[in-house]
Amino acid sequence: MRRTRAAWLLAGLAILAGSTASAADMPERDMGLLLGGGWADKDLVGSKDDDGNPLLGLRYGQRLGTDTRFFGDLVVGRYGGNRPGVGDASVTTLRGGLEWLFSRQQQYNWFVSGGLGLMNVNTDGNVDFTRPMASLGVGQAWAVGANDAFRWEVRADQSFGNDSLPNAGLTNVQALLGYSWGLGAPPDSDGDGVANRRDQCPDTPSGARVDPRGCPLDSDGDGVFDGLDRCPDTPVGVKVSAEGCPLDSDGDGIPDHQDTCPTVPAPGTTDGCPPKLVEPTPTPVVKPAPAPVVEPAAPRRLTLDGVNFDNDSARLRPESIAVLDHAAATLKEWGEVKVEVAGHTDSVGAEASNLKLSQRRAEAVRAYLIGNGLGADRLTAKGYGESQPVADNRTAAGRAKNRRVELIPLQ
């Protein structure tokens, strides 16, 4: 009949429709209500085969893959008829099958459905039979909210039997409108808590915090998303690492944007530069009128702050070099004063070992100063171990002060 041919033609045209890359994600499972109209062929309703008849139904859907869904539905309707011996009829169809999403759009998906089931016909003329049937349909599912869908479908059901009632093979065309409620949580591919349908940034990295649109937050604007940023309060414009923390090129614990000397390690300082050698102010010498000019006296003792060694070693650390260079220049200004290079340690470890370690460290400093142009006959090296503390060895700060090298004038 004409409606049957139109239904199959509509299905064929829909199959030829193109598909797009983006799609309206449908829920994992859904339950829906169906309303519509049905037309049965004249074998059942006689000359009323052009009359539409109201339908009511229920459906269930279950996603099987990206483009396929299982469905099951039950549709009932009361058909008016005037075929002799048949009259009006109640038609119930129960079917199950698969839907294939062949064209996926931003807000809706085209699908074709195919399935098998049963058709029951019960007429006022005491005709009652149930026959197997096959079904084919085409329709659209439109995304509504975060997890629901509005849908329409045109389908044709064909029962199997012989050419005369009550065993006739009947064609039943149905046009259905429905609304489906998603069961369970809506799809959220990137796991950021924003449903795919509302997520404007669907590829958010795991762990990043997002705004209501599903896009990552970056409070300090350093390019590392909140939740992944270990330093979320980085000042604007500061270069950061992959973890969002300010860069520290020389590894001295002072960020580059605060480091006055970003290529010279100077841990423990405030500006990132090695400490300058501070010289005691010489005591002024009173010059009697007839007496010759007297050279400034050398200081009683000069502590080389910033001269450090590797742990339990006499190997000088790189940050010590600038201090020793300055010390060599100062000793040259002292004239021919002979100087003792005195090494000291804290109280950690055995006393005898500390004495030997302090001697080696004093000799290492003496050797460096000689290499900078000071006469070997002016310098002697002596280690005092832990015998002359200047601070409390029970604290880390005190022990750091006790680990020192001093220059002591001998004349």
Q: What is the pLDDT of residue 249?
A: 84
- Whether the pLDDT of residue 167 is over 80: the answer is no
Task: Identify the band that residue 163 occupies on the pLDDT scale cut at 50, 70 and 90.
Answer: low
Q: Which fold has domain 302-409?
A: 60s Ribosomal Protein L30; Chain: A; (3.30.1330)
- Whether the pLDDT of residue 232 is over 90: the answer is no
- Whether the pLDDT of residue 260 is over 50: the answer is yes
Q: Report whether 366 contacts 379 (CB < 8 A).
A: yes
Tokens of 33: 């209500």
Residue among 324, 334, 322 nearest 282 (CA): 334
Q: Which fold has domain 2-183?
A: Porin (2.40.160)
Domain spans of the chain, in order of start: 2-183, 302-409
Omega of the bond leading into 54 within 30 degrees of 0 (cis): no
Q: Report whether 17 contacts 110 (CB < 8 A).
A: yes
| Integer-rounded Cα radius of gyration of the chain | 46
Q: pTM of the full predicted structure?
A: 0.50
Task: Identify the band that residue 284 occupies on the pLDDT scale cut at 50, 70 and 90.
Answer: low
Q: What is the pLDDT of residue 294?
A: 46
Q: What is the largest CA-CA distance in the chain?
A: 154
Residue among 332, 340, 339, 351 nearest 389 (CA): 351
Average pLDDT over all residues of the chain? 83
- Residue 128 forms beta bridges with which residues? 122
What own/partner pairs with CB < 8 Å and gap ≥ 24 does 364-371 have? 364/309, 364/314, 364/315, 364/316, 365/304, 365/307, 365/316, 365/324, 365/341, 365/405, 366/341, 368/316, 368/324, 368/328, 369/324, 369/327, 369/328, 369/331, 369/341
Q: What is the pLDDT of residue 42?
A: 87
Q: What is the pLDDT of residue 154?
A: 97
For residue 212, count other CB atoms closer than 10 A to its CB: 9
Could you report the per-residue pLDDT of 295-350, keeping only the tens digit for each? 555 566 888 888 889 888 889 899 889 989 998 888 888 878 889 999 999 998 89
Q: Is 87 left (phi over 0), alpha (psi -120 to 50) or beta?
A: left
Per the model's pLDDT, the better-predicted residue between 164 and 359 turns out to be 359
Q: Please indicate whether the domains covering 2-183 and 302-409 agree at the CATH topology level.
A: no
The residue length of the chain stands at: 411
HEC profile of 310-325: CCCCCCECCCHHHHHH
Residue in the block written with tokens 């005709």: 127
The enclosing H or E element of 277 equals none
Measured N-to-C along each axis, helices 320-333 and 351-371 cross at an angle, to the nearest 10 degrees, of: 60
